[in-house]
Amino acid sequence: MVLEYMQYMLGFTKKIKLKKILTIMFAYVTLVGLVTFSLFIHEESIQMLMFGTWPAKNAKQWNLVKTGTDLMEKTNNQARWINYIVGWVQPLAFFSYKSFNQSTDYYIMGLRAECFAMAPELFVGEEVEFEFHPKQSTRRDDGKYVVQSGRLFIVTEHLPKLTKMYVKGKLLIVNQQLTVTLK
């Protein structure tokens, strides 16, 4: 009788352990699905925005390209936050979405560069970074130098060489000219 009781208890204990294990596995799969589905929807959103920028570029609608780029950046940042906060629960998805975010960052940089080259006026009031190829330089009455290339003017305190420059600053309209003042 003791043997039968032990077998009964042992079998009952195994059933409880199995149920606990299955419950924990179900909870984990549910959590992983919730996290990865959210990231998947963000990925799809980024792709739709990317697809929308292509016809806008072909139509030379640079305001639409910039709007799409701004939305893409916002969505990519949201996905990055989700991935870094809870994406680690599924390590393979974490690294995959990390790579996707990095690739999207690169696409955004390229699209911004193209948009800035074609319609810099859309970036007035924003911090910009770009490579500048000056064509001419003049000295103002206040001692500062103005370097020009096409529609862009760079104001600097030092006479730059008329070679490629790396420019970083806020794009403003000064005297009806697109101007970046270097500090």
Shared domain check, 141 and 80: no
pLDDT of 92-124, one tens digit each? 999 999 999 999 999 999 999 999 999 999 999
- Tell if the pTM clears 0.75, that is, is over it: yes
Average pLDDT over residues 11-35: 77
Who's near 155: CB < 8 A, 6+ residues apart?
A: 140, 144, 145, 146, 174, 179, 180, 181, 182
Who's near 38: CB < 8 A, 6+ residues apart?
A: 82
Q: Can you give the residue range of the structural domain that contains 61? A: 2-120
pLDDT given at position 150: 81
Alpha helix segments (H runs only) across the chain:
2-58, 62-86, 91-118
For the chain, what is the domain count? Answer: 2
Token pair belonging to 101 = 């975010």
Shared domain check, 110 and 84: yes
pLDDT given at position 152: 84
Shared domain check, 42 and 64: yes
Shared domain check, 76 and 52: yes
DSSP class of residue 163?
S
Residue 52 CA to residue 46 CA, distance in Å, equals 10
pLDDT given at position 23: 84
Indicate whether 5 pLDDT > 60: no
Shared domain check, 132 and 110: no
Shared domain check, 69 and 15: yes
